[in-house]
């Protein structure tokens, strides 16, 4: 686990896999760049709340569906 996900785990990759999306499809649906999505999935960056909102809105899910945390 890296420093970006010390307190919460981002579940974007699980959502992409479960719905058989490509990173390109998620980018088109959400307006979030492919490189940002890739970096989130690979734990290279921690998404901002703005990005989480864009992902959730584009994927038609709740923001809380995108992460796992003991503080949720």
pLDDT of residue 7: 67
Per-residue DSSP letter, 10: E
Q: Please, are residues 55 and 30 in contact by the beta-carbon 8 Å criterion?
A: yes
pLDDT band of 59, cuts 50, 70, 90? very high
| pLDDT above 70 (res 27) | yes
pLDDT of residue 6: 60
The Cα 65–Cα 72 span in angstroms is 10
pLDDT at 34: 98
Residue 29 confidence (pLDDT) above 80: yes
**Domains of the chain: which residue ranges?**
3-69
Handedness of CA 45, 51, 54, 56 (dihedral sign): positive
According to the model, what pLDDT value does residue 1 have? 44
Determine the Cα–Cα distance for residues 46 and 53; give it in Å rounded to an integer: 13
Strand, helix or coil for residue 45: coil
Residue written as tokens 């785990």?
Answer: 9
> What value does the mean pLDDT of the chain take?
89
CATH 3.30.1330.40, domain 3-69, yes or no: no
């Amino acid at each position: 686990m890296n420093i970006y996900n010390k307190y919460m785990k981002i579940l974007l990759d699980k959502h992409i896999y479960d719905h058989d999306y490509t990173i390109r499809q998620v980018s088109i649906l959400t307006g979030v760049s492919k490189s940002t999505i890739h970096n989130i999935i690979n734990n290279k960056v921690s998404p901002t709340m703005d990005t989480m909102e864009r992902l959730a809105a584009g994927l038609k899910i709740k923001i809380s569906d995108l992460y796992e945390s003991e503080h949720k």
